[in-house]
Amino acid sequence: MAHPDDAELWAGGTIARQVRHGGTAVIAVPHHDAVRDAEATVGARLLGADLYLMDQLSVSTVATVLSEVRPDVLITHPTNDIHPEHRRCAEAVLSALPDVVITTGHPNRVYHCDGYNNLDQHGRPMDLPIIVDVGDQWPTKLDALRSHTSQPILDHFGPMAEALGKLHGRRINAAYAEAFRAVPILGRLPAATGL
């Protein structure tokens, strides 16, 4: 992800759900400053994930992280996200994927997450057909998101997360949900019953 609070905001419930069901999770973000890095550490810990701080967000750094971590599932920003740093992150990930997948066989599946108010850079609603019920993990997601005290969580990101969680939850008759879109890897969309 592009920023220390992005994993919590866009996929925190899904990460917590994965860990709760016996899986593991790694959140990889670029190093920012001591305050934001400390917040990222707390947020990852609250979700039950490990934190990988990258020196920079580049194709070669992303390739190194993916080769070392070898995730089965990878979640990144959409390439048409409103935020330019989110777009650059997604492009770095997608540029690194072919060589990493050919070399390591991982990740098996890749997904784009939601964006600000579920809108793309052109102001259109994002098409995110994969919905994950995160109602049981919602308090954990919010605790992790609130650990980013240097950011406008209470006034901006928290209310947006609440609105998006309820919006996607309504789509599957759940209290809260997160939404994703599968991304082809080397021209394939592997079958999956969940993320």
Superfamily designation of domain 6-183? LmbE-like (3.40.50.10320)
Domain ranges in the chain? 6-183
For residue range 119-167, what is the model confidence (pLDDT) as tens digits?
999 999 999 999 999 999 999 999 999 999 999 999 999 999 999 999 9
Q: Mean of the pLDDT values across residues 46-52?
A: 98
pLDDT at residue 19, as a whole number:
97
Contacts of residue 134, defined as CB under 8 A and 6 or more positions apart, other chains included, come to 12, 13, 14, 16, 17, 141, 165, 174, 176, 177, 178
SS3 167: helix
pTM: 0.95
What is the tens place of the pLDDT at every residue in 91-124? 999 999 999 999 999 999 999 999 999 999 999 9
For residues 87 and 80, what is the distance between their CA atoms, to the nearest angstrom? 6
The two tokens of residue 195 are: 């993320």
Three-state DSSP string of 105-129: CCCCEEEECCCHHHEECCCCECCCC
